[in-house]
Structure 1
Amino acid sequence: MYKLNKINQSILLVIWGIGYATLSSAQETVTEQTNPVQQPIAISPSAESNEAETVPLLSSVIVTGSRTRENRTVASSPTPIDVISNDNIKQANQRNLLEALNNTLPSFNVPTLPGYGINSTVKAGQLRGLNSSHTLVLVNGKRRHSTARLGAGGFTASAPVDLGLIPTGSIERIEVLRDGAAAIYGSDAIAGVINIITKKDDHGGEVSAKYGGYTEGDGTLQQYIAGAGFKLGDEGHVYISAQYDKQGAAFRDSPVPGHIQYYFPIDANGNEVAPGGSPSFGPTLPPGATPNPKEAGVDRNNTVFGASGGVPESELASLTVDLSYPLSDKTELYAFASYADRETRSPQHFRFPSRDIVVRALWPDGFTPYTGVDEEDYSLQLGVKGTDLAGWDWDFSTVYGADNIDAYQYSSNSPSFGLDSKKDFYTGSYKYNSWVNNFDLKRSFEQGLLGWLTDVSLGAEYRREGYKRTAGELQSWAYGPDVDPEKFANGEYGYVLDGPNKGTLISISDAGSQADTGIRPEDTADDSRNSYALYAGLSVYPTEKLIIDTGLRFEDYSDFGDIVTGRVSSRYDFTPKIALRGTVSTGFQAPALAAQGYKATGVTVSETNRTLAVNSAAAQALGAESLKPEESKNYSLGFVFRPLRNLNIALDAYQIDVKDRISALSTIRASNLETDAQKAAFSSFVQSVDPSFGPNDGIDYFINAGKTKTKGLDLTIEYLLSTDRYGSFLFTAAGNWNKTELVSRAATPAALTAFGFSSDLTYNASSIANLEYLSPRFKGIVGLNWHLEKWSAGLTATRFGEIRRSTSVNVDGVSTPKVFNAGNLWLVDAQVGYKFTDQLSLTLNGNNIFDQKPRKLPANTVSGPGLLWPFQSYSYLNNSPINAAGSFYSAALNYKW
């Protein structure tokens, strides 16, 4: 897709170097690598083997969910935790970690958005049906920085961690805590915590190469991974991992109907005339005209609109280093560094050559504009930890992370600049950084509270965040006549240069690059904030059967003030086979720093829309108030049952109440008011607030909009069957039932109702639908993995239950709401593997082997999710749980030593 830059070349060089060193010294370095975490796909039982007393994943030691004891397992945890091994990630056969989690966890959902714009690159998922930013992401137990893109993945006002940038080759395992944990880890841990544990081997390594594609011949994926561990001194280690992914595009747009005209029709006198219908969305043949002869050369099966979703093309190169080194017999230095460079291109809607926003001298056949992203993401963890500091274990760490996004618009034009228009534009940048410092203490007392075994933890945290948004280049946002009035007077700028409408003034609404305009200078931002935290944890063990965990945390933010959260979690084992567990906690999510100062100007064909910074004077005059944190109350109750030695069942019910959820106020404008007097009064007031505002500009801002209640049920079942003759069989089944409802809405600010605006503008129908119906009501995953000597195989089936989507259909010229079920889908994945030697293996994977596609939108759809434009024969739903690309197959060759 792109010429590799120097960074990508360096990554490939590291991969090549590790691979070469591997092959050249294989006979000397082959050892049996020992992994402390048992992984189900790696099970290789024989007649002589001693099987574990528990299912492998449930016997995994975990470090997430407590700052005290570190010898808990999945099976003995007082909170529900999933462990996903590196082999599980490989079996998912997805192009990045985000998609792998979606393929592995029933409680995790990644909505499929339109395959265009920045949000097709910076995607996000939701745990237990909540916002993407309600899940905290840790790397080796340390907070990961978030994306610089506000609204990533379509979640308004959210800035989650971009899991798509974390290389899968560096991961040993992932621990997913499905419970509120803000009292332990701080902001964002409302729905749960994802803790990524990186590889820490001091010897051995692996190299792998994967190639795959969709059955229609597009969307090819190349992935190369190399990693190796080395000793650092006698007891230290350094593990280096490099990865390079190249993803081709795959889109499933429908053919353009034959009645749609690309070029200007011809009238009876042989002159070009304007098309009928909508020149933007459905140009047709007007009465008395004939098609332009150029129509004969149009390929109606190859016009990209991007509306049906799909997979954008991208390149990702990444490098990670994990190390530790003992400074003494009681002190250890540790570090983890990651770097990722990503470039993407995604198509926007095709611009017909008959549209006057096309500079036809530059694009005689129209054009498909592409949104481009050039992103750099890096993080550095550095820490020292030790034991016996007056009897306490201690850990001091500092983590700096940053995400920098440069945005571009390619293969486009800025129509008001005429022949001087560029084709490629820099549209601005988004930059976020975070610096987190922690000091932790912990200690166990054999005769602690009330004489019970007691674990105590204490800690402090300082965090500083920074956010910047910079302007795009001039032509990406400006209006030509304003830039050069002389060229406007000469007819060079601001006018249609040719065609039936030659000499017509180009609307100021068409200023800037098509389709994404640049960030305007007045919409830039440079914000920062500090926060401080003190926290403590207390775990007691009154008996061998009872565990009680408690946590308390105080945080103070420079932009909104302080907050206290708490947590009590407990587990009681009635017998070795039956246990009850539960948690009650409070939590919070600080408003994203980008949301605090976010402002934007959007210009459409007929109107200008402005998002005002919530703390600006203009927004405050229109009723805005400083954003408060979203606060939660979490309740969960679980039942753990082990009826057989290798059968484990866990059932967890939960309720999550979140108040002060942040959303955008429904757009207000003078024309929405009922009477002329109201319209005139509001227009006058708006222009008095800011003279640059138009009298009918649309205005919105972020607001603490309402309260939601989420109820759900998680079920996990794991069963291991081992035989001498037929190998081992690991059966897993997991399901999530989840329902979110809007309990109450905040009132429209009094400053707006005074002008006559409705009292319920805090949530509109679209935002309510996103809250309540974006995730499936039910998602279940059933898997069977088999292993016998050199052979292995896996089969996974995923069920998506009811998914409600709303749209509108045209009935006799009237737009009528319609709700339909986009769910009830099955996806089946399969895998077959063969080990040629103990080191060399081949794996064949198939995803969505029955070629399932999203639901098509109902006929006569005129608006709503997955908008069906008149120039399409049909349209797949945009925000389905699956994309429209269909079946994907790949082969991976892996060498370990």
Structure 2
Amino acid sequence: MTFAYRSSLFLAASGAALLIAGAASAQETPDDATSVDDIVVTGTRVPNRSRLDTLAPVDVVTAETLSTRGTTEFAAALAQSVPSLVFARPSVVDGTDSIRPATLRGLSPDQTLVLLNGTRRHASALVNVNGSIGRGSAAVDLNAIPTGALDRVEVLRDGASAQYGSDAIAGVINLRLKEAREGGGASVTYGQYFTTVETARGERDETDGRTVTASAWQGFGLGSDGFLTLSAEYLNREPTNRSDYDPRVTPTAITARAGDPKVEQWTVFANAGKSLNADWAAYGWAGYQDRDSESAAFPRLPNNANNVVSIYPNGFLPKIAVNSQDLSLAGGVKGEIAGWSADISLVYGRNALDFRTEDSLNSTYGSASPTSFDSGGLTYDQLVFGADFTRQFEVGLTGPLNFAWGLEARREGYKIDAGQPESWNRGPLGSNTALAGGAQGFVGFQPSNEVDDDRDAVALYADVEIPLTEKFTVEGALRVEDYSDFGDAQTGKLAARYDFSPNFALRGSISTGFRAPSLQQSFFTSTSSVIQNGAVVETGTFPATSAVATALGAKALKPETSTNYSLGAVVRLGDFDLTVDAYKITIEDQIVLSELINRSFSGQVAGLLDPLGVQAARFFLNGVTTETEGVDIVGRYRLRTESAGNWDFTVAANVNDVSVTKLPTSSSVLNPVPTLFARSRILTIEEGTPDTKVSGSVDWSLGRWGATARATYYADVLQPGSTAASDYSTGAKTTLDLEGRFQVTDRVGLAVGVDNVFDEYPDFVPETLNSNGVLGFPYYSPFGFNGRYGYARLSVKW
């Protein structure tokens, strides 16, 4: 879809908004016209600003909205509420099955900054290295935050690096925890899929994915004005399987397991605040999650060369188990210093992933092989000190000038631990070149893969917002950051808003941004051993600064840089509001994972790799340039009636186009240059997320009754192969979700619902492209591929 089309859409919507505003200019705005506006703290440092008064678009999603979903998975529920957010459900891609990333405006998952209570949230230790959306990224695990702990979520859809620092290229997701000193609630949700699965080779009925989620929260008073809010959640989910029938076995049967992983997790959060004196208050929070997740690798049939028949006479299906332990701790104080509002905080976050390979074997050990392996682990941690100062100055304008400045100091660490020797080693039968070394399904990290690295970063910023007239407001922000590994980066932002009337305003911004290379991208390494000419050599992923990658022309990673442009309109007519925001984002030096460069490519490559004991290598590198153009439209209308109840109508749309305009070539010293970034990677960036997503919802309540209906349209998504003949796609699809609610008493509520009422699936993978039956459907699908889901929820409040 061309940007000309989207520009026309934007102009048409803006024109409609102008006509509406003109028609309404003679009308009297109701006194409560702004009562439905949500006060936001993201994207602005001016107090008491509503989402419709901001200089950049901000979506506000309340905990109540998130709770009226069938899914209790936070990232999935948020994606149903935010038009430009997509949460795919990859499968059979190792650790990414368990730590699934979300994308904003079709950009990489790590190009969206995530905040918790306004402070930088730590990323997952996992870097996505397989063929999924967000390949090469190390993103924040949104599902590490339980929905029950949240009060609301604010999504800033605009470049904000000058305000918040690295990663805020696509925008910012700010998670706001509950702050309650009394009251509480609890809920239990039970659901499962009941669906007809129609794959290329047959049709079957499934009832799987049973999910039980129990959550509770309680507010406590601390003295006369303090609060302590505790929340807890337990989730148990059985796996789903949407694989096709395997044509290699007789009679035909399903041998694989592609779908949602098995998950058991528990999460606890505490959020507190208390005045210290008339001018100062202390605050803090703590959270911990333990998640056990198990997904499946590709099946091994009995005649597979790497099967040991004495252990698995019928073949085996390896399982990849990941234990994720996620910790966050924060403390801070707020108060007044010489007329300045000050906020000083210290935040620590840590994510540790321990991998196990189950129901597997290492064929080079023969019948003596273990079937369960400790495959090693990844750890990422982050310590952030922040000091923010804000003050308003009366300078003779129509309103106070708001000036903010501050500093941030950050230390990050990244570590890889090796697995047990049998998970990566070549055993007594290792001289047999037909046998693969290491645990089948997920090879463990070797001692040579172990790393323990860290870095420091310091940032200074200034942000000023000036109302030049009663109708015209401008904002400017500057930020300078210095990193111990690659140097410094400078970003800036200019934004403005003109209110033609209380009913209509235009807003826009120009900004530069950056994303520092993550430690995961800089230092991740994972290799396996193979036999080459009778010698054991390695193949896999190497750090860009390693001897192997350097020999192939790799260079130390440098930051990605971006330029963002946006132009939008805001319409308010009593109980109706509409926002339309067009944008263009150019990202240069984007960091990607190269293709595997094999010694067989040329004699030159063989001459470089053979002395290093390596058969093939890949590494992270800069060099991809993308251009993203699109428009977001969000409209909302509230209707209040005495006899027919209260109605809330929302329509939200995102139209988005991503183009790759430049590919990495200069980082290789080789001649000829091998393909560093393949066709399938390019098309994943350009067509791996829907170019159009439209969601319409209706919320209704009358007395003790309530209901929600939501329809979401997703444009076609391509899951590319190595050639056009091996591409397949999801098709354009629309899903419908329904929920009904009844308040049994003032405290007890019951809800029942069905997500994906009409059992919609993406188009199945063609038979000719699915020789083993593993993938029944494209896992690039933006709404998953599990079918119809029914659920019931019992809630209690006090």
Normalising by structure 1, report the TM-score: 0.81
- Asked if the contact 1:115–1:311 (Cα under 8 Å) also holds between the matched residues in 2, the reply is no
- Asked if the contact 1:530–1:558 (Cα under 8 Å) also holds between the matched residues in 2, the reply is yes
Cα RMSD after superposing both structures? 2.0
Alignment of 1:317 onto 2:296: no
- Asked if the contact 2:718–2:780 (Cα under 8 Å) also holds between the matched residues in 1, the reply is no
Q: Give the CA deviation at 1:377.
A: 0.4
Name the aligned partner's letter for residue 89 of structure 1. L
Q: Give the CA deviation at 1:669.
A: 2.4
Alignment of 1:538 onto 2:464: yes
Of stretches 878-887 and 585-594 in structure 1, the one that deviates more from structure 2 is: 878-887
Alignment of 1:114 onto 2:91: yes
Name the aligned partner's letter for residue 108 of structure 2. N
Structure 1 equivalent of residue 620 of structure 2:
702
Q: Which of 746, 765, 771 matches 1:869?
A: 771
Structure 2 equivalent of residue 724 of structure 1:
642
Q: Give the CA deviation at 1:116.
A: 5.3
Structure 2 equivalent of residue 179 of structure 1:
158
Structure 2 equivalent of residue 248 of structure 1:
238
Distance in 1 between residues matched to 2:139 and 2:540, nearest whole Å? 24
Identity value in percent: 34
Alignment of 1:101 onto 2:78: yes
Name the aligned partner's letter for residue 660 of structure 2. L
Q: Which of 716, 739, 744 matches 2:662?
A: 744
Structure 2 equivalent of residue 665 of structure 1:
594
Q: Which of 730, 752, 761 matches 1:822?
A: 730
Structure 1 equivalent of residue 552 of structure 2:
622
Q: Which of 111, 114, 121 matches 1:134?
A: 111
Alignment of 1:220 onto 2:210: yes
- Asked if the contact 2:43–2:156 (Cα under 8 Å) also holds between the matched residues in 1, the reply is yes
Distance in 2 between residues matched to 1:786 and 1:665, nearest whole Å? 50
- Asked if the contact 2:125–2:351 (Cα under 8 Å) also holds between the matched residues in 1, the reply is yes
Name the aligned partner's letter for residue 421 of structure 2. L
Q: Which of 803, 806, 812 matches 2:717?
A: 803
Which digits, 9 at most, give the CA deviation of each residue in 1:345-385, with x for residues without a partner?
11222211222312222222221111001111010010011
Structure 2 equivalent of residue 896 of structure 1:
797
Task: Indicate the SS of the match to 2:64.
Answer: helix
Which digits, 9 at most, give the CA deviation of each residue in 1:108-141, with x for residues without a partner?
1122312452110000011001000000000110
Q: Give the CA deviation at 1:602.
A: 4.1
Distance in 1 between residues matched to 2:176 and 2:597, nearest whole Å? 47
Measured at CA, do residues 508 and 470 of structure 1 come closer, stay the same or move farther in structure 2, by a change above 3 Å?
Answer: farther
Structure 2 equivalent of residue 880 of structure 1:
781
Task: Indicate the SS of the match to 1:119.
Answer: helix
Alignment of 1:522 onto 2:436: no
Which digits, 9 at most, give the CA deviation of each residue in 1:711-733, with x for residues without a partner?
00000000011111000111100
Distance in 2 between residues matched to 1:700 and 1:320, nearest whole Å? 40
- Asked if the contact 1:478–1:511 (Cα under 8 Å) also holds between the matched residues in 2, the reply is yes
Structure 1 equivalent of residue 394 of structure 2:
446
Measured at CA, do residues 821 and 364 of structure 1 come closer, stay the same or move farther in structure 2, by a change above 3 Å?
Answer: closer
Q: Which of 445, 457, 468 matches 2:404?
A: 457
Q: Which of 488, 491, 501 matches 1:562?
A: 488
Distance in 2 between residues matched to 1:700 and 1:408, nearest whole Å? 24
Which digits, 9 at most, give the CA deviation of each residue in 1:627-668, with x for residues without a partner?
1100000000001122x3111111100000000001122322
Task: Indicate the SS of the match to 1:251.
Answer: coil
Structure 2 equivalent of residue 582 of structure 1:
508
Distance in 2 between residues matched to 1:749 and 1:106, nearest whole Å? 37
Distance in 1 between residues matched to 2:76 and 2:528, nearest whole Å? 31
Distance in 2 between residues matched to 1:825 and 1:871, nearest whole Å? 23
Q: Give the CA deviation at 1:605.
A: 10
Distance in 1 between residues matched to 2:546 and 2:728, nearest whole Å? 41
Which digits, 9 at most, give the CA deviation of each residue in 1:846-886, with x for residues without a partner?
1111101121123422xxxxxx12456x8312212232221
Measured at CA, do residues 442 and 511 of structure 1 come closer, stay the same or move farther in structure 2, by a change above 3 Å?
Answer: same
Q: Which of 160, 171, 182 matches 2:139?
A: 160
Q: Give the CA deviation at 1:55.
A: 7.3
Structure 2 equivalent of residue 769 of structure 1:
683
Structure 1 equivalent of residue 26 of structure 2:
none
Which digits, 9 at most, give the CA deviation of each residue in 1:410-452, with x for residues without a partner?
111111112221110010100000000011111011226x685
Structure 1 equivalent of residue 290 of structure 2:
341
- Asked if the contact 1:590–1:630 (Cα under 8 Å) also holds between the matched residues in 2, the reply is yes
Q: Which of 216, 223, 232 matches 1:233?
A: 223
- Asked if the contact 1:706–1:762 (Cα under 8 Å) also holds between the matched residues in 2, the reply is no
Q: Give the CA deviation at 1:803.
A: 2.1
Name which one, 1 or 2, has greater alpha-carbon Rg. 1
Which digits, 9 at most, give the CA deviation of each residue in 1:222-271, with x for residues without a partner?
011110001001110000001101111111122333xx34xxxxxxxxxx
Alignment of 1:60-71 (within 5 A): 60-66=38-44, 68-71=45-48
Task: Indicate the SS of the match to 1:436.
Answer: strand
Distance in 1 between residues matched to 2:398 and 2:80, nearest whole Å? 46
Q: Give the CA deviation at 1:151.
A: 1.5
Measured at CA, do residues 724 and 684 of structure 1 come closer, stay the same or move farther in structure 2, by a change above 3 Å?
Answer: same
- Asked if the contact 1:60–1:83 (Cα under 8 Å) also holds between the matched residues in 2, the reply is yes
Alignment of 1:207-606 (within 5 A): 207-215=186-194, 216-257=206-247, 260-261=248-249, 300-301=252-253, 303-306=254-257, 309-387=258-336, 389-447=337-395, 453-481=400-428, 493-494=429-430, 506-507=432-433, 510-602=436-528
Measured at CA, do residues 390 and 622 of structure 1 come closer, stay the same or move farther in structure 2, by a change above 3 Å?
Answer: same
Task: Indicate the SS of the match to 1:751.
Answer: coil
Distance in 1 between residues matched to 2:665 and 2:313, nearest whole Å? 52
Q: Give the CA deviation at 1:506.
A: 3.8
Q: Give the CA deviation at 1:746.
A: 3.1
Measured at CA, do residues 106 and 304 of structure 1 come closer, stay the same or move farther in structure 2, by a change above 3 Å?
Answer: farther
- Asked if the contact 2:600–2:606 (Cα under 8 Å) also holds between the matched residues in 1, the reply is no
Structure 2 equivalent of residue 843 of structure 1:
751
Structure 2 equivalent of residue 78 of structure 1:
55
Give 1 or 2: higher strand fraction. 2
Distance in 2 between residues matched to 1:229 and 1:851, nearest whole Å? 40
Distance in 2 between residues matched to 1:415 and 1:750, nearest whole Å? 36
Structure 2 equivalent of residue 781 of structure 1:
695
Measured at CA, do residues 820 and 219 of structure 1 come closer, stay the same or move farther in structure 2, by a change above 3 Å?
Answer: closer
Of stretches 309-318 and 827-836 in structure 1, the one that deviates more from structure 2 is: 309-318
Distance in 1 between residues matched to 2:531 and 2:240, nearest whole Å? 30
Measured at CA, do residues 351 and 55 of structure 1 come closer, stay the same or move farther in structure 2, by a change above 3 Å?
Answer: farther
**Structure 2: runs of 5+ lacking an equivalent:** 1-28, 195-205
Which digits, 9 at most, give the CA deviation of each residue in 1:682-728, with x for residues without a partner?
3223223x2x22xxx22221110221100000000000111110001
Distance in 1 between residues matched to 2:34 and 2:759, nearest whole Å? 33
Alignment of 1:757 onto 2:705: no
Task: Indicate the SS of the match to 2:378.
Answer: strand
Name the aligned partner's letter for residue 854 of structure 1. P
Which digits, 9 at most, give the CA deviation of each residue in 1:546-588, with x for residues without a partner?
2212111000000100011111111110011110000111111
Task: Indicate the SS of the match to 2:597.
Answer: coil
Normalising by structure 2, report the TM-score: 0.91
Name the aligned partner's letter for residue 160 of structure 2. A
Alignment of 1:2-13 (within 5 A): none
Q: Give the CA deviation at 1:88.
A: 1.1
Task: Indicate the SS of the match to 2:40.
Answer: coil
Structure 1 equivalent of residue 169 of structure 2:
190
- Asked if the contact 2:399–2:470 (Cα under 8 Å) also holds between the matched residues in 1, the reply is no
- Asked if the contact 1:460–1:533 (Cα under 8 Å) also holds between the matched residues in 2, the reply is yes
Which digits, 9 at most, give the CA deviation of each residue in 1:718-754, with x for residues without a partner?
001111100011110000000000112232435212x
- Asked if the contact 2:233–2:267 (Cα under 8 Å) also holds between the matched residues in 1, the reply is yes
